[in-house]
A and B are shown apart, each in its own frame.
Chain A
Amino acid sequence: MHDDHDHDGHHHDNHLDPTAARVKALETILTRKGLIDPAAIDAIVDIYENRIGPRNGAKVVAKAWDDQAYADWLKRDATAAIASLGFTGRQGEHMRAVFNAPDTHNLVVCTLCSCYPWSVLGLPPVWYKSPPYRSKAVIDPRGVLAEFGLALPDGTNIRVWDSTAELRYLVVPMRPAGTTGWSEERLADLVTRDSMIGTALAREPETA
């Protein structure tokens, strides 16, 4: 809907673009059939716009850095370890945490469409959903990382994980040096969204 200014005294000029009107039409039909509740729709929008995002995932990663028993649990059963912090998926999906190591870097993509670990990262950025990323991440992961400004040593093995509706991945980046004794809260500030997709590393302490 655009914002018409008031010209020559006529106020009857609201405009609903065809796409917005189609969504309104769907919502009307589904409400009339009792398949949705408009209040529940508003609540879902609020959750995904305001309440979940990469801070959830950063808490998971920081806890894994700080607590070896939690890291082991996350490696063994990520769905349960993540749920223990209160982050659960709405689509019944399973989570798997993949850990970066000095010789292995992990990168997540969804070649199917845009499957993404909503409960820990929120909704995906536009580039994650774009055809170039979806096709190139599998064929040329090193080239993709270079486009993100990330150059890994030649000897580093890059593993690409293709998400599905049932299984979503969370990359656990390596803990930066110089963070001994840091609290989980402080560690979480080093964990960016892109570092949990694998297109970046965790921040270094001096740049955080």
Chain B
Amino acid sequence: MSRPERAAIISGDEPPFAEPWQAEAFALTVALHERGLFSWAEWAETLSTEVKAPGAADDGSDYYACWLRALEKLIAGKGVAAPRDVEALSQAWQRAAHATPHGKPILLENDPLRGG
């Protein structure tokens, strides 16, 4: 094992979430656990697999990216949402964002390809 860089371990106090999506992904997980979709041990195992995957950043900066992958896998594994459905809907959200005038809330209804 190579000796970790000091900078990777020592850093100052940061807010708990660097971006809003991180907070949302965190809260979705807490809420789904409280609803009983999975046990916390099940969650920890799934998250562990992601954070230990090869290529994980040494400074922990990709932690919430790992978190989101773990959440998607768990949700797919429970048969709640297939990855292709999540992908299609996330593209719809991106199109909706692009079609939304600046300063207006982004609504999924704004997706120009939205089917009737």
Contacts and interface: CB of A to CB of B under 8 A. Distances in A.
Given A20-B20, A45-B27, A112 B44 contact: yes
Contact of B48 (A112, A123, A193): A112
B99 A90 contact: no
B80 A29 contact: yes
A24 B40 contact: no
A19 B68 contact: yes
A15 B63 contact: no
A26 B28 contact: yes
Interface string B56-75: 11111101010010011001
A28 B28 CA distance: 11
Given A45-B23, A129-B63, A91 B10 contact: no
Interface in A122-140: 122-123, 125-127, 129-133, 135-136, 139
Given A23-B21, A25-B86, A130 B8 contact: yes
Chain B's interface size range is 35 or more
Nearest to A123: B16
A91 B33 contact: yes
Overall SS of chain B's interface: helix
A127 B89 contact: no
- Contact size class for A? 35 or more
A12 B89 contact: no
A130 B4 CA distance: 10
Given A16-B93, A36-B35, A48 B16 contact: yes
Contacts, number: 198
A126 B5 CA distance: 14
Nearest to B108: A28
A125 B24 CA distance: 18
B10 A148 contact: yes
B32 A30 contact: yes
Contacts of B102: 4, 6, 11-14
Contact of A131 (B31, B39, B58): B58
A91 B17 CA distance: 20
A72 B75 CA distance: 43
A49 interface: yes
Given A21-B97, A28-B89, A130 B58 contact: yes
Contacts of A19: 21, 65, 68
A164 interface: yes
B97 A48 contact: no
A150 to B, nearest CB: 11
Interface of A: 1, 4, 6, 11-16, 18-30, 33, 35-37, 40-42, 44-45, 48-49, 90-93, 112-115, 122-123, 125-127, 129-133, 135-136, 139, 144, 147-148, 164-166, 193
7 contacts: A44-B31, A92-B40, A114-B63, A130-B8, A131-B56, A133-B9, A139-B1
